[in-house]
């Protein structure tokens, strides 16, 4: 794990440019409207991207209920130091599934994706650097529950696929909402290969697999989050939710689209996408 600390100190012109990007992204999110192009010069480093994310978090003003983890793949992993990235899951965007169909938001003029994931919940406060280079057993001791779940990965940036992970980080890690489903009982005794998942959109199967598709599994995702939070000076309160990474991939879905994420014996979650309204 890295020991470097991220800085918020940049030359004035760069800081002003990054802050302006954050203002435009935060405004687009508040107004629930898409952006045709990235609002400014795309940041060049992870440090700059997380600076933008921090400013977007400040502008949003909501508490943070948890964090999502995404993957940094080819060709970006050749130039960026991390293989994952994180983004905030804001309070008020988390749904606890109790059956039926969940109606979840998508930004008109932006893009949205369905991601079937495992959702961790922490059992204690974890300050920056509190767990340095943790071993798997130590990580597991800080997990209260693991549940099946669905992340709604959404963004104001309609051309995000061409922009890559830097842009995703800037726009809150592309998180719009999270569904927390049934808990996996006795999760410590369940192997990743025993947690299957099949995702359909509008009745068509778009992805299958099991939880081992997340590199290193949920513990590696948890370890990464601890590292990036240490670099950013972020404390994880007790009860923090962690959306640990897409099991079957990242699947585009439009407003009005329906999806089922079927985790076999562990349960299923049905969702329908609805238009995000300004201020939601």
Q: Which residue has the tokens 């890559």?
A: 164
| pLDDT tens track for 243-256 | 999 999 999 999 99
CB 280 within 8 A of CB 105: yes
Q: Which residue has the tokens 């640990």?
A: 244
pLDDT (0 to 100) of residue 124: 96
Residue 4: pLDDT band by 50, 70, 90 thresholds? low
Helix 217-232 vs helix 46-60: crossing angle, to nearest 10:
80
To the nearest 5 percent, what fractions of the chain are helix, strand and coil? Answer: 30, 35, 35
Q: Which of 14, 87, 81 is nearest to 56 (CA)?
A: 87
Residue 74 predicted with pLDDT over 90: no
| Rg of the chain, C-alpha, whole Å | 18
Which residues on adjacent β-strands are paired with residue 204? Answer: 201
Residue 187: pLDDT band by 50, 70, 90 thresholds? very high
pTM attached to this predicted model = 0.95
């Amino acid at each position: 794990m890295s020991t470097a600390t991220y800085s918020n100190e940049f030359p004035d012109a760069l800081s002003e440019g990054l802050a302006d990007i954050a203002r435009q992204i935060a405004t687009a999110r508040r107004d629930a409207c898409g952006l045709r192009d990235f609002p400014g010069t795309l940041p060049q480093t992870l440090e700059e991207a997380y600076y933008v994310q921090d400013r977007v978090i400040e502008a949003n003003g909501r508490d943070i209920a948890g964090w999502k983890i995404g993957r940094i793949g080819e060709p970006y992993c050749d130039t960026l130091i991390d293989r994952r990235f994180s983004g905030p899951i804001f309070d008020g965007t988390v749904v606890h599934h109790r059956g039926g169909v969940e109606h979840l938001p998508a930004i008109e003029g932006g893009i949205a994706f369905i991601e079937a994931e495992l959702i961790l919940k922490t059992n204690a406060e974890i300050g920056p650097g509190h767990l340095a280079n943790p071993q798997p057993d130590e990580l597991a001791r800080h997990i209260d529950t693991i549940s099946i779940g669905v992340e709604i990965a959404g963004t104001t940036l309609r051309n995000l696929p061409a922009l890559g992970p830097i842009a995703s980080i800037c726009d809150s890690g592309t998180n719009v909402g999270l569904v927390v489903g049934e808990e996996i009982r006795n999760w410590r005794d369940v192997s990743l290969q025993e947690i299957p998942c099949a995702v359909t959109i509008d009745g068509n199967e778009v992805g299958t697999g099991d939880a081992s598709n997340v590199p290193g599994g949920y513990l590696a995702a948890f370890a990464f989050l601890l590292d990036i939070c240490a670099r950013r000076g972020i404390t994880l309160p007790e009860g923090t939710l962690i959306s640990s990474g897409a099991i079957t991939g990242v699947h585009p879905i439009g407003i009005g689209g329906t999806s089922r994420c079927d985790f076999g014996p562990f349960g299923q979650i049905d969702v329908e996408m609805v238009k995000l309204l300004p201020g939601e």
